[in-house]
Amino acid sequence: MNSFDAAISASLNSAAQKWPAFDQAVVFLSNSDLVKGGVVMAAVWAAWFYTKGDRETNRSLLLSAIVAALFALFIARVVALVTPLRVRPLLNPDLHFRAPIGLPSETNWTSWSSFPSDHAALFVALATGVWLVSRRAGFTLFAYVAIIICLPRMYVGIHYLSDILSGAALGALAVAVCVATPIRTRLILPIHRWGERHPAAFYLLLYLLTFQIATLFWDVRVALSLCGFST
């Protein structure tokens, strides 16, 4: 842990246990799938029906961002598994971390590295897709992801700032790769055009995928854990 991360974590943690209602509100924000994935995916769906600009281009950009978000999430999990374990702030004895009021005491974070933040990777990628369609909506969503999704996870001691920044960079980079002309032309546009020809099947699959993203693949993770896989 570097001194920069330690200083930021200690500064945020200095407010813990002073205002119970505030602590409980932040813990709620850090856990709520509706507040996190629900709002972000609602913004993606709103951008899908955005009427300005070329519809095919906008939708291909959003599909690229969704693919990129899944890719970034996968890479983040791989990095967390293959790199040395980075102990989360709330478990780091050097920080003398005070758990915010309302934070569950039983978690699986002891064997789960904090680096990088998969939340930041996933949601920054999706916000980047919205930004490509509408700059104003995109900037608003970036602010939402930073303040409502990422900052609470730092406050409750799940991540350091560098975890968040590295995850965000991963998400943005993944979108930059997936919206590149060769990939979007050969992979994304054919999917979109298939969806135009088969809207019922396409929207059924897209809804199920975005629902899983909104809930952070909770059902998939539970199923994998029951099969003996670490999630």
| Residue in the structure block whose two tokens are 């350091």 | 160
Name the residue with higher pLDDT: 119 or 110. 119
Q: Look at residue 13 and tell me if it is in a domain.
A: no
Q: Look at residue 17 and tell me if it is in a domain.
A: no
Q: Look at residue 231 and tell me if it is in a domain.
A: no
Weakest-pLDDT range from 20-29, 77-86, 125-134: 77-86
Q: Look at residue 199 and tell me if it is in a domain.
A: yes
Whether the upstream peptide bond of residue 100 has omega within 30° of 0, thus cis, is no
Q: Which among 29, 186, 52, 36 has a CA at the least distance from the CA of 126? A: 36
Q: For the chain, what is the domain count?
A: 1
Percent pLDDT > 70 in the chain is 94
Is residue 90 a contact partner of residue 109, using CB atoms and an 8 Å limit?
A: yes
Please state, in angstroms and rounded to a whole number, the distance separating the CA atoms of residues 8 and 195: 46
Looking at residue 217, its pLDDT comes to 86
Q: Look at residue 211 and tell me if it is in a domain.
A: yes
Looking at residue 173, its pLDDT comes to 96
**Tens digit of pLDDT for each residue in 139-196?**
999 999 999 999 999 999 999 999 999 999 999 999 999 998 788 888 888 998 999 9
Burial 123-138, CB ≥16 within 10 A → b, else e: bbbbbbbbbbbbeebb
1 pLDDT tier (thresholds 50, 70, 90): low
Name the residue with higher pLDDT: 222 or 23. 23
Instruction: Name the residue range of residue 173's domain.
Output: 32-86+113-147+160-226
Looking at residue 106, its pLDDT comes to 59
Please state, in angstroms and rounded to a whole number, the distance separating the CA atoms of residues 221 and 65: 22
Q: Look at residue 96 and tell me if it is in a domain.
A: no
With 0.85 as the threshold, say if the pTM is over it: yes
Looking at residue 229, its pLDDT comes to 60
